[in-house]
Amino acid sequence: MTSQEPVVRMINVTKKIGSKTLIDKLNLEIPPGRVFGFLGPNGAGKTTTIRMMVGLMSISEGDIYIGQSSVKTDFEGAMRQIGAIVENPEMYKFLTGYQNLLHYARMTPGITRARIDEAVARVGLTNRIHEKVKTYSLGMRQRLGVAQAILHRPKLLVLDEPTNGLDPQGIRELRDYLQELAHQEGTTVFVSSHLLSEMELMCDTVAVIKQGRLVDVKDLRGSAEAGRRETAFEVDKPLEAAALAGSGTIDGSKLIVAVDREETADLNARLAAGGIRVYSITVLTRSLEDQFFEMTGRGGGQIG
């Protein structure tokens, strides 16, 4: 993680409705310039947390800071730094795409017409922007939603389930675009989803929440590069191979050991020299899905 000042600080954030606690003392810091995923099963409190961040829901206890501004006490200051799409980007269908953007542009100081055109070009809607939104496809509405969210060049872009209803091409474009925003323009992107594979491709870091509690924060990019990974060697004599390697477990005809890149090659040479035939070497990556189920418990859970 970077040592820079976090863009979002959630401090003991709690949401209670009646006697029910939806979010329970959530503490989370989001570092700048990353695509930060927010993962959890349905009903875990993802949307509730996001709605509290953007002021659509009140915070029962605790506070959320966007930069230096508290959402509770300096709402206007906090909101000036946020661009968001909460669930589907609902637009005024009787207005054109451009009029919709103009509407939101008027609500934040300092957005010029040139900036609106730039945002429109950015999401590739230039040719259709002066048509009524009711003629737009879902994918085009999603693009318009992104355009309204980035109009004021927010420090933080919050997206709630952004891939819902998008076709594979749309998902891919959105993913590339978010990565670009985060890594080139330094915007922090906070994105919630329950689509694990999607999050794995899109995010640098994920926070996992379950029943209103933070379970874990995982760095996806870092762990993929460095360190030893579980590697399976498929051999003809696994027992002898294990003896040669000096460690590892045996799974059928496979010897599974934790090694890094160089050690893989070394071990392979030693096995070959020891007269053991190696048929295949496979790095066993545990998918985010496996990790997710490890953290949240597999199936059968009750909706929080």
Binding stretches for other proteins (CB under 8 A): 17, 51, 54-58, 75-77, 79-80, 82, 84-95, 99, 102-104, 106-109, 148
Give whichever of 104 and 177 is closer to other proteins, judged by the CB atom.
Answer: 104
* 132 versus 270: smaller Cβ distance to other proteins: 132
| Widest distance between CA atoms in the chain | 76
| C-alpha–C-alpha distance, residues 90 and 85, integer Å | 9
- For residue 158, the minimal CB distance to other proteins (Å) is 9
- The nearest distance, CB 14 to other proteins, in angstroms, is 14
Q: Which residues contact 90 (CB under 8 A, 6 or more apart)?
A: none
Nearer to other proteins, 81 or 205 (CB): 81
Between 51 and 128, name the residue whose CB sits nearer to other proteins.
51
Question: Closest separation between CB of residue 196 and other proteins, Å?
Answer: 24
The residue among 108 and 268 lying less far from other proteins, judged by its C-beta, is 108
Residue with tokens 């919050």: 158
Contacts of residues 150-153 at CB distance under 8 Å and 24 or more positions apart, as own/partner, are: 150/83, 150/119, 150/122, 150/181, 150/187, 151/83, 151/101, 151/104, 151/105, 151/108, 151/111, 151/115, 151/116, 151/119, 152/80, 152/83, 152/105, 152/108, 152/110, 152/111, 153/187
Nearer to other proteins, 32 or 83 (CB): 83
Smallest distance from the beta carbon of 166 to other proteins, in angstroms?
A: 17
The least distance separating other proteins from the CB of residue 154, rounded to whole angstroms, comes to 10
Q: At closest approach, how far in Å is the CB of 76 from other proteins?
A: 4
Residue 9 CB, shortest distance to other proteins, in Å, is 19
Those residues whose C-beta lies under 8 Å from the C-beta of residue 220, and which sit 6 or more positions away, are: 200, 203, 204, 205, 206, 288
Residue number, 107 or 284, with CB nearest to other proteins? 107
φ/ψ of 168, rounded to 5, equals -55, -40
Report in angstroms how near the CB of residue 247 gets to other proteins at its nearest.
53
- Residue placing its CB nearer to other proteins in the complex, 32 or 89: 89
Tokens matching residue 27: 């503490």
Q: At what angle do helices 97-105 and 113-122 cross, to 10 degrees?
A: 130
Q: What are phi and psi of 228, to 5 degrees?
A: -80, 145
Which amino acid makes up residue 113? R
Half-sphere exposure of 50 (CA within 13 A, CB side): 28
